[in-house]
Amino acid sequence: KILQSMITNPARTQPLTIDTFNQYLKCLDPSSSSSSSLQTARDAQSLLDELRKTDDGSSSGSIEGYSPLPPPNAETFTAVMNLWARVPGRRSYDTVVELFDALQSVGDGDGSSANRDIFLAII
């Protein structure tokens, strides 16, 4: 509901930035049950996947009809990796590793890029 409100708010005069999406991801708080943690991680992953469509240049991602979306940055990947890290099991670990690998190739456009400290903090 929060994301939908951000996107459809008629009072919004500025386009949504990646910082807005990052703050939304940080607000996602899975409960202690593994099924809720898994669903929250999947929802965050879906958002990241849409943001990455913009980043790879192949198409423009959209959410609830809102586009263009800003490309993800290191903070976006870190927020999603944190959510996957809360899901028990090997599959979630493998997803964090895949996201970390993808993050290393993305960078932030300002010369910064992923490093092992981010990965170790999550694991």
> pLDDT at position 105, please?
73
pTM: 0.80
109, pLDDT greater than 60: no
Give 111's pLDDT tier (boundaries 50, 70, 90): very low
Cβ atoms of 76 and 68 within 8 Å: the answer is: no
The predicted model gives 93-112 an average pLDDT of: 75
User: Would you tell me how many other CB atoms lie within 10 Å of the CB of residue 76?
Assistant: 26
CB 25 within 8 A of CB 68: no
